[in-house]
């Protein structure tokens, strides 16, 4: 059996690799075709005195620099589709060459033949989890770039629009530079429990240090004195603003995809560190637990589609493919729903676990229909 297991696993892995190469190449080709001008302009700006050959080589380098971290992210998006498609192609090859018949004639059941498929799919699912938790977070800052930022190793400066710190204060800034961890033209609004403005703090710039922002020329206007009858707000010089709103949180709040690229443990630390509104806590919980639910749903979806391809006799594989398609689509849909499903009264981890749990009885029922 070890020889048969290795043979099926090798054939399955080969199809997986080929499909990944085809899909990666297709996506990159489309993007380069659409955005080649942007890459070329970036290369020309980086090398104003170079010749055409050098500029062309630099353009290719910028394309590679832009896309290599995105391939790690793309692997997570495509893994479920590739596993199911490669499983179908492998089964069709085995049926076409009468290899299922030979295995059955030697006393091997079709249920046993499913083991190498599930083993390889399990390993690739684990690899997806490792990639998501350890590799993607290391290049998370590179995944927020667009084609015009290729070649840059850091996040470009961006505007901060009323980022809440969970303690009734909102921070706004004209720009945030992630290289120097510096905010410019800072405005901090503080409100009371009723939503009334209590104070406004302004500063020319701010640098993160000592669990807060060191303010340059910081000035706090106490608006509460106006409500008490004073004509002008009281002024106070402020040099340090202590807040849970650190640079990592600012990037998560302002860059929509940043949180999706952080690890489960980093998101857990952010949640436990406080300073998050109920909406922000719910978003982080959906990302954390939905990620685990999506992994489980991907594996269960493959297990649900596999029995459709385990046939005893050589036959046209169109009918098994049409039978497996809705099952596979339902499983991949469950993987997508695991990161977005919310049910009142249920904790987020339980909501994320529901889609794969619903699919488990379907898998067991389909495996009982395999005639071997």
pLDDT greater than 80 at residue 209: yes
> For residue 228, is pLDDT > 60?
no
Q: Is 260 within a domain?
A: no
Angstrom distance (rounded) from CA 66 to CA 226:
53
Give the dihedral sign, CA 79/80/81/83.
positive
Q: How far apart are CA 339 and CA 11, in angstroms?
A: 32
- Which CATH number characterizes residue 201's domain? 2.60.450
pLDDT in tens, 342-354: 777 778 888 888 8
Region 40-63: mean pLDDT is 82
Asked if residues 70 and 131 have their Cβ atoms less than 8 Å apart, the reply is no
List all residues 6 or more positions away from 178 whose beta carbon is below 8 Å from its beta carbon: 141, 154, 155, 157, 247, 251
Q: Are residues 92 and 161 in the same domain?
A: no
Is the pLDDT at 273 greater than 70? The verdict is: no
Domain span at 197? 156-254
Q: Say which residue the tokens 């269960």 belong to.
A: 300
Residues 76 and 166 in one domain: no
- Out of 230, 254, 278, a domain closes at 254
Q: Does any domain span residue 263?
A: no
Residue with the larger pLDDT of the pair 7 and 223: 7
Distance CA 140, CA 127 (A): 18
Residues 189 and 104 in one domain: no
Mean pLDDT of 361-367: 87
Residue 63: pLDDT over 80: yes
Domain shared by 15 and 138, yes or no: yes
Q: Per-residue confidence at 230, pLDDT binned at 50, 70, 90? A: low
Q: pLDDT averaged over the chain?
A: 85
The label of the residue with tokens 């509104």 reads 277
Distance CA(262)–CA(304), nearest Å, equals 30
Q: What percent of the chain has pLDDT over 70?
A: 93
Last residue of some domain: 209, 233, 254? Answer: 254
Q: Is residue 326 part of a domain?
A: yes
Count of all residues that appear for the chain in the document: 372
Query: 265 in a domain, yes or no?
Result: no
Based on the domain organization, do 116 and 187 belong to the same domain? no
pTM for this entry? 0.80
| pLDDT (average), residues 250-259 | 72
pLDDT band at 115 (very low <50, low <70, confident <90, very high): very high
Same domain membership, residue 6 and residue 128 = yes
- Residue 229 clears pLDDT 80, i.e. is over it: no
Residue 259 within a domain: no
- Are 237 and 293 in the same domain? no
Which has more confidence, 147 or 206?
206
Same-domain check for residues 246 and 354: no
Q: What span, in angstroms and rounded, lies between the C-alpha atoms of 74 and 19?
A: 13
Residue 275 lies in a domain: no
Percent helix, strand, coil in the chain (nearest 5)?
A: 60, 15, 25
Span 140-183, pLDDT tens digits:
878 877 777 777 766 667 788 888 887 778 899 998 888 788 99
State the Cα–Cα distance between residues 28 and 366, nearest whole angstrom.
Answer: 37
Same domain, 91 and 171: no
Is the pLDDT assigned to residue 86 strictly greater than 90? yes
pLDDT higher than threshold 60 for residue 225: no
From 239, 254, 269, the end of a domain falls on 254
pLDDT at position 235 is: 82
Question: How high is the pLDDT of residue 6?
Answer: 93
Q: Are residues 105 and 174 in the same domain?
A: no
Q: How confident is the model at residue 127 (pLDDT cuts 50, 70, 90)?
A: very high
pLDDT of 317-340, one tens digit each?
888 888 888 888 888 887 777 777
323 in a structural domain: yes
As for how many domains the chain has, the answer is 2
Question: Measured between alpha carbons, how far is residue 251 from residues 10, 201, 299, 364 in Å?
Answer: 42, 21, 32, 44
Per mean pLDDT, which range of 11-25, 37-51, 236-250 is the poorest?
37-51
Same domain, 9 and 78: yes
Tell me: do 77 and 107 sit in the same domain: yes
Please report which confidence band the pLDDT of residue 255 belongs to, taking 50, 70 and 90 as the band edges: low
């Amino acid at each position: 059996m070890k020889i048969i297991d290795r043979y099926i696993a090798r054939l399955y892995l080969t199809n997986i690799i080929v499909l990944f190469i085809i899909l990666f190449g297709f996506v990159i080709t489309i993007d380069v075709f659409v955005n080649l001008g942007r890459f070329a302009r970036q290369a020309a700006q980086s090398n104003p005195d170079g010749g055409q050959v050098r500029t062309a080589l630099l353009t290719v380098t910028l394309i590679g620099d832009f896309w290599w971290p995105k391939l790690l992210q793309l692997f997570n998006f495509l893994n479920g589709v590739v596993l199911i498609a490669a499983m179908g192609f492998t089964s069709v090859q085995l049926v076409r060459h009468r290899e299922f018949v030979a295995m059955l004639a030697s006393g091997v059941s079709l249920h046993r033949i499913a083991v190498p498929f599930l083993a390889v799919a399990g390993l690739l699912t684990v690899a997806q989890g490792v990639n998501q938790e350890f590799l993607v977070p290391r290049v998370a800052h590179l995944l927020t770039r667009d084609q015009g930022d290729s070649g840059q190793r850091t996040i470009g400066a961006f505007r901060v629009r009323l980022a809440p710190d969970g303690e009734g204060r909102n921070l706004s800034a004209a720009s945030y530079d992630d290289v120097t961890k510096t905010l410019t033209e800072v405005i901090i609004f503080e409100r009371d429990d009723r939503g009334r403005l209590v104070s406004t703090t302004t500063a020319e710039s701010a640098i993160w240090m000592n669990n807060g922002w060191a303010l340059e020329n910081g000035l706090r206007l106490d608006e509460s004195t106006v409500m008490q009858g004073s004509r002008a707000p009281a002024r106070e010089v402020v040099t340090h603003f202590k807040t849970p709103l650190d640079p990592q949180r600012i990037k998560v709040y302002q860059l929509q995809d940043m949180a999706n690229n952080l690890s489960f443990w980093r998101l857990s630390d952010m949640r436990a560190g406080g300073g998050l509104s109920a909406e922000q806590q719910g978003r982080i919980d959906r990302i954390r637990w939905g990620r685990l639910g999506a992994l489980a749903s991907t594996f269960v979806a493959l297990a649900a589609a596999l029995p459709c391809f385990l046939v005893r006799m050589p036959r046209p594989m169109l009918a098994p493919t049409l039978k497996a398609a809705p099952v596979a689509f339902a499983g991949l849909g469950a993987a997508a729903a695991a990161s977005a499903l919310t049910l009142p009264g249920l904790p987020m981890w339980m909501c994320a676990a529901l889609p794969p749990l619903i699919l488990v009885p379907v898998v067991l029922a389909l495996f009982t229909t395999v005639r071997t």
